[in-house]
Amino acid sequence: MLSVSRRSRVGWSFAAALSVIALIGCGGGGGGRGGSHITPPASSNASAKLSWQIYDVGDQTPLSCDEVAGYDFSISLIDSAGNYYDGAATATCSPSDRYFQATTFSVPAGTYSVEFYLYGNPSVYTTSEAVIASYRASNVYFAPGYSDFTASPQAVYVESFIVGWALYSGNRPAACNPGEVVEFEFRQPGSNVWIINDFDCTFQSAGTSFPIPVDYRSAEWNLYLLDSAGQALDSIAGGSVSVPNGADISLPMQTFYLNH
């Protein structure tokens, strides 16, 4: 079962042939990060190769790292005793990549929860610690030796704002001038960091923002129409909205009024 809970992406969908895994979903938490952070003992004898892709919760088209402002992935393991093996595997989120693989370091054979974290690009999120997608696979059996689980890439889901706009001059529809940009920004309430997307003004149907970090419970947003020099022609104060579990935030159509 694969559940796309915002706080902890839960589940696994390996092919039925991979019968070494018992599939049991679990909820809650922001990815866990609990238990004792330890180094695997010298007797460790099991590792696994994993594969995954990034998706928006509202679509089934794999996304690139650039499209989600992704930076890198970290995969951690939690054993049945609650011991936490942090950074059991890592992978870089290179700009055009849409398919990812990594092999864990060796751990004692046994049953684990596997936690995946996608970190946002610091150039967008201003920090290397912003987790923009995560999920957990429970009761994954690491058999002695090496297991290859890449036959069925897993899904790491992101959530975003979806916003559309129209331009009017008085009561008549207006067109964008060359170089005009629609700028969308959002932040966690109380933060001084805005996450900013710029869209071609002529797009107008719907723009998808960079992902909302997984620790957001609510978000504030604003929308601007900028001329080719970056000066505001009109602005919309959006206010605050709750961030749902497992769904994008689809905003109502927004309208700019101006004299062109």
The predicted model scores a pTM of 0.84
Distance CA 195, CA 208 (A): 13
In tens, the pLDDT along 130-152 reads 999 988 888 999 999 999 999 98
> Could you give the CA distance from residue 190 to residue 112 in angstroms, rounded to a whole number?
37
Q: Note the Cα 121 to chain centre separation in Å.
A: 11
pLDDT digits (tens, 9 = 90+) for 52-72: 999 999 889 999 999 999 999
Average pLDDT, the chain: 85
pLDDT reported for residue 204: 59
Q: Which domains does the chain have, with CATH numbers?
A: 2-158 (2.60.40), 161-257 (2.60.40)
For the chain, the C-alpha Rg in angstroms (whole number) is 21
- Which residues 6+ apart lie within 8 Å of 1 measured at CB? 11, 23, 25
pLDDT band at 30 (very low <50, low <70, confident <90, very high): very low
